[in-house]
Amino acid sequence: MNEKQHSFVAGSLIAAVLASVCCIGPLLAAMAGLGAFGAVTMFEAARPYFLALTTLLLGAAFYLTYRRKDTACADGVCSPAVSRRSRAALWIALAVVVALTSFPYYSGRLWKLTSPESTIMAASVDASSASIVIPIEGLTCSGCAGILETKLSELPGVHRVRVSFEQKTAAVQFDQSQLKESQIRDSIRTAGFQTSR
């Protein structure tokens, strides 16, 4: 690969990371124990532009790699303009780009594999138990929902929690003597998401 091809491949990889940083960032931060880090969800609005840039840069790299070049053979032996290693590297880069850009679609499953079970079942539910469903803004993938579900399940007094990416809600059953609705909403905001009344 020449320098121009390297630039296109590197640019496409960077754009692919930026296209998925809204899901990769919170997951990595939570796995590292840094909290949910939901603030990077602001990159979700730019995701289509990063995906388009990734496609253009990778397309240019493929064009430069596979276009026909007329090579002059002075001594009768012609070496190929692009080596097999360069082509293999380009296909590997494509696989990495596909894995990165599709990350939001499988991040929820990955989160469930790497985190402990976050839905807590109450041993007994008494009169002080309450249930609420809170609409949430900023959930951009199932990974965000898994991270938020884990964070809410860690609150004292929570009996059961289920965060739905599809419905953009958090359903929480909790003990009112240990926890208030405002504390649940504050925990959601601390994770980087917005709640509506």
pLDDT digits (tens, 9 = 90+) for 5-53: 889 999 998 998 888 877 777 667 666 766 555 556 667 778 889 999 9
Q: Is the pLDDT of residue 66 over 80?
A: yes
* Whether residue 164 sits in one domain with residue 134: yes
Q: Is residue 106 part of a domain?
A: no
More confident: 83 or 93: 93
Between 8-22, 47-61, 106-120, the lowest mean confidence (pLDDT) is in 106-120
Residue 151 lies in a domain: yes
Same domain assignment for residues 122 and 147: yes
Same domain for 168 and 191, yes or no, is yes
Spell out the long-range contacts of 171-176 with Cβ–Cβ below 8 A and sequence spacing 24 or more.
171/131, 171/132, 171/133, 172/131, 172/132, 172/133, 172/134, 173/122, 173/125, 173/129, 173/130, 173/131, 174/129, 174/130, 174/131, 174/132, 175/126, 175/128, 175/129, 175/130, 176/128, 176/129, 176/130
Say which residue, 74 or 6, is predicted with more confidence: 6
Rounded Cα–Cα distance for residues 123 and 176 (Å) = 16
Mean pLDDT of 51-60: 93
Q: Could you tell me if 50 and 87 lie in one domain? A: yes
Q: Which pLDDT value is given to residue 118?
A: 43
Q: Are 96 and 138 in the same domain?
A: no
CA distances from 142 to 26, 99, 105, 147, 167 (A): 12, 16, 7, 9, 11
Q: What does the pLDDT look like over 131-187, one tens digit per residue?
A: 999 999 877 777 778 878 888 988 999 999 998 888 889 999 999 999 999 999 998
- Encoded amino acid at 41, one letter: T
Say what the pLDDT of residue 122 is.
44
Q: Which pLDDT score is estimated for 71?
A: 62
* Residues spanned by the domain of 47: 3-71+80-101
Does residue 107 form part of some domain?
Answer: no
Confidence at residue 4, expressed as pLDDT on a 0 to 100 scale: 85
